[in-house]
Amino acid sequence: MNRTRKNLKKITFGAFLTLLVGLYSFSPKGKDIDPKPTKSTNVPIFIKVVYQGNDQVYNDYPLATDEFYNPILQGCYPDPAITRKGDDYYLVCSSFAMFPGVPIFHSKDLVNWTQIGHVLDRVSQLDVHDTGISQGVYAPGITYNPNNDTFYMITTAFAGGAGNIVVKTKDPAEGWSDPYHLKFNGIDPSLFFDDDGKAYIVHNDAPDPGKELYNGHRVIKIWEYDVEKDQVIEGTDKIIVDGGVDISDKPIWIEAPHIYKKDGEYYLMCAEGGTGDWHSEVIFMSDSPKGPYIPAPSNPILTQRYFPKERENKVDWAGHADLVLGPDDKYYGVFLAVRPNEENRVNTGRETFILPVDWSGTYPVFENGLVPMEPKLKMPEGVENKMGQEGYFPNGNFTYTEDFSSDLLDYRWIGLRGPREAFMEQTKNGLEINPFETNIKELKPTSTLFYRQQHRTFSFSTTLNYKPKSEKDLAGVVALQNERSNYVFGVTKKDKDYVLVLEKNSFSRRERSTKSEVLASTKIDISNPIELKISAEGDKYTFSYSTDGTSFENLGGTVSGDILSTDVAGGFTGALLGLYATKANDMALE
């Protein structure tokens, strides 16, 4: 059947995670990273960065005064989860091997969002020092427990032997505890706190041994949770969903479960179909938190899988959702989806979207979640759109300028596999990056400060003051999907000359290794700071430079962004744009 063949092509999130469980569940705890290695004598200084996004969809669909754009978080902010305390809303997303981990956002109205930090911001909470970029932290859940006035973040960490963990706090803006390690396997855990004070964890898991019926067959389990000990209660686990809505259809990758209580009934909402173009959201109901759960007759309640592939302003892969009651006493759902480019490639990654939810009947349904999604929404009554103003996170088309003069580095800047503070220092002259003896292709912390690609059409430029001493020294910019798929554009030295070079690193499936290729190089005058720029129009990327701050010259022509897309490079992240320095450059220059 066509659907069976189609399912074989999905990005099977659960399959990848099942493999990782075996590989990383028992890996030894890594050592803490030295926060300040010996400073190099030739430290590159990045004076300024300008990111400018200019997607045509936002030019074609200007906002009215009562509208806001969807997605609410552009770029690689996948697997959103949300909770509410009073008038305050908190949202978290997956971060994989990025550091710090689990970005957290705050809002009063579900339209205007401020990033207040990261949940896992210490090495004692998150050890990703030797993991691939698509390992690390998956699918966080955030839940407020009114019974003890405490917030909980629960997640699966495929690094450092952590497994499933929970951290907690009284105030999400004031930091989180070290992890409590939970005694169960599987992925995508979330917490539910009932009115009677009891607590439960639901999560995705493999079927019982010997009962896996097909590839992608998964189950949803529930455990009772001891709030005093922060641990599941041994022997209380139970399978509450086997396979999905209808196991006779062989549904794949039932995951990302959340339990809600409304009008005395319990609702279990899950993702189904894998995090590719068969992704969907489904709902079940029960009169008990431990089931049995009966699927709604109208599932799925959210999906974009049924529409023509060539539709305008395409949004796809919608699913992995969470519900919350909004300020207007109407329900809303946050979820991940993607906006592919003209080649149907996903360079901006899985992003966070929101839709109103109609729960006037027995089951909730995402409003306009079963038709092709539109780029903008009506705001809740009485809300003013301030995105991009007054410290609120921007969306739509915008320009972001950073001169690194603020005492606190913007939370959008992240490291990879380790703390930013291990290699960077903000000075009166700009941002200094102390280069590690690690290059971008290694499974180690890199001395690279990253910013997420948030548009299909964008430019990312930086002014660099740098004088390499040898061919091992390099500093510049990088466009990266993962450690095996990236472009490096930087200044190094060849004999007595200073050279600007563009390198492509791509993974060869035939040879099972990373192939490195210098696409272009040129001698360059570095007596004054130079400006480096990465630009893209959909799948077409260019790299250019300026020595006078005005006119730019292209190096390497136009290259494909294919290796910066998950469908080519694999994994679960979006493209990252980085300020990069290394003392382990290995480019082969002629």
Return the active site residues. 79, 255
> Would you say 261 and 194 are in contact if contact means Cβ atoms under 8 Å apart?
yes
User: Residue written as tokens 């001493």?
Assistant: 469
CA distance 451 to 462: 12
Q: Which residues of 533-547 are buried (b: 16+ CB within 10 A; e: fewer)?
A: bbbbbbbebbbbbbb
* E-strand stretches of 351-440: 351-358, 365-366, 376-378, 399-402, 415-416, 424-427, 430-433
On the question of a cis peptide bond just before residue 300, with omega within 30 degrees of 0, the verdict is yes
Buried (b) or exposed (e) across 367-394, using 16+ Cβ within 10 A?
A: bebbeebebbbebbeebebbbbeeebbb
Q: Which residue has the tokens 């966080």?
A: 140
**What backbone phi and psi angles, to 5 degrees, belong to 161?**
70, 20
Structure tokens at 483: 């450690």
Any long-range contacts for 496-500 (C-beta under 8 Å, 24+ apart)?
A: 497/523, 498/467, 498/468, 498/523, 498/524, 498/525, 498/526, 499/523, 499/524, 499/589, 500/476, 500/524, 500/530, 500/545, 500/555
Tokens of 376: 């903008």
Q: How far apart are CA 415 and CA 502, in angstroms?
A: 22
Element holding 14 (H helix, E strand): helix 13-24
Tally DSSP H helices, then E strands, for the chain. Answer: 4, 40
For tokens 């949770």, name the residue. Answer: 225
